[in-house]
Structure 1
Amino acid sequence: MKLKKASIRNINDLKKICIDAYSLNFHNHWNDGGLEWYLDNEFSMERLTSDLNDENIEYYFIEHKLKVVGFIKIKMEPTKNLSFGNSAELEKIYVLPECKGMGIGKLALKEISSRIRESGKKNLFLCVIDTNKSAIAFYEKLGFEFHSKTTLDVPYFKEELKGMHRMMKILNQ
């Protein structure tokens, strides 16, 4: 597993893996028309260009055997007004379904945690759907702990999946 920081130069590759990894994992979480709406909003060329030009946001390709199999999006200065102190936010980490269970996500998350710690951040937090027990267990194994509940405020997302857990990991351990 290798992480490679994304840039404007490889925005087309970034858009492709973002759409593929997200839609293959979460297509069934949306009401009619919702997935298309979300992909157009989150992974449009305009949005990705804006994100890649924002010094606060970092995207990484997750590579395995010289193939891009997922991506990570980090916010180095979270916009949410939360009591996490000197924190970064893991906004997105998605791996193609055929690569799940191979330890790739675990290695990617350990590597990104190390990079964030080296940047001087003390904590890493994320939000995960509260019914996604396998993802919650995955994060717990990597040292994340439940912090608080929140709700996903996105149109077209299935109502029963909008409950979220905020989880946090102290990085200086």
Structure 2
Amino acid sequence: MGFKFYTHSTMITREATEQDLAILLEFEQGVVTAERPFNSTLIEGEIHYYDLKHLIQSPEATVIVAEENNEIIASGYALIKKAAKDYYQFKEYAYLGFMYVKPEHRGRGINKVITDELISWSKSKGINEVRLDVYAQNESAIKAYEKAGFEPHLLTMRLKA
């Protein structure tokens, strides 16, 4: 599709393929495990947040992986969504999710590399509004996203009644 590859030492980024699904499903459980401390409403056991095969196949989405020495070490996706309200200045936006870096590779700026690739893909689709969700208590993720240029926008509050 003419998507550029990013090279950093021996690391490249590329679009995921269906051949990557096994490791991506492992990463999905890594995301769930990382988020459990921030969300007491999650059910026990294995949870599937994403339809990864659909995201890989969809022209409205891209799944990017970082690969080093032929090992996938990180992931993220961008999905074009319709704006929820008709009074927004934008009709569509890119939603970023599935941001995961294997624990032994964290702290190297790989999340920012993936985020930059997803933003670049979004812009190539004519999308200028990019959003993501992060738990309010997940301070390290918030700092990483702020470093990538994101700013807090809307905080969802909940009450268990």
TM-score (norm 1): 0.69
Distance 1:70 1:80 in 2: 28
- The equivalent residue for 1:102 is 108
> What amino acid is the match of 1:102?
R
Deviations 1:69-107 (A, max 9, x none): 12112212x256153614201022111121110111111
Distance 1:148 1:33 in 2: 22
- The equivalent residue for 1:18 is 28
- The equivalent residue for 1:7 is 17
**Gaps in structure 2 of 5+ consecutive residues:** 1-10
- The equivalent residue for 1:145 is 151
Task: Give the drift of 1:60.
Answer: 2.0
Q: Is 2:131 the partner of 1:131?
A: no
Task: Give the drift of 1:151.
Answer: 5.1
8 Å Cα contact 1:3-1:62 kept in structure 2: yes
Q: Is 2:56 the partner of 1:52?
A: yes
**Gaps in structure 1 of 5+ consecutive residues:** 153-158, 161-173
> What amino acid is the match of 2:84?
N
- The equivalent residue for 2:98 is 92
Task: Give the drift of 1:54.
Answer: 3.5
Q: Report the count of equivalent residues.
A: 147
8 Å Cα contact 1:23-1:35 kept in structure 2: no
> What amino acid is the match of 1:26?
E
Counterparts in 2 of 1:141 and 1:150: CA distance versus 1, 3 Å = same
Distance 2:139 2:146 in 1: 10
Q: Is 2:84 the partner of 1:81?
A: yes
* SS at structure 2 position matched to 1:98: helix
Distance 1:123 1:61 in 2: 22
Superposed CA RMSD in Å reads 2.8
Counterparts in 2 of 1:106 and 1:35: CA distance versus 1, 3 Å = farther
- The equivalent residue for 1:64 is 68
* SS at structure 2 position matched to 1:113: helix
TM-score (norm 2): 0.73
- Aligned identity (percent) is 22
Q: Is 2:43 the partner of 1:34?
A: yes
- The equivalent residue for 2:6 is none
Distance 2:62 2:151 in 1: 23
Task: Give the drift of 1:145.
Answer: 1.4
More helix by share: 1
Counterparts in 2 of 1:60 and 1:134: CA distance versus 1, 3 Å = same
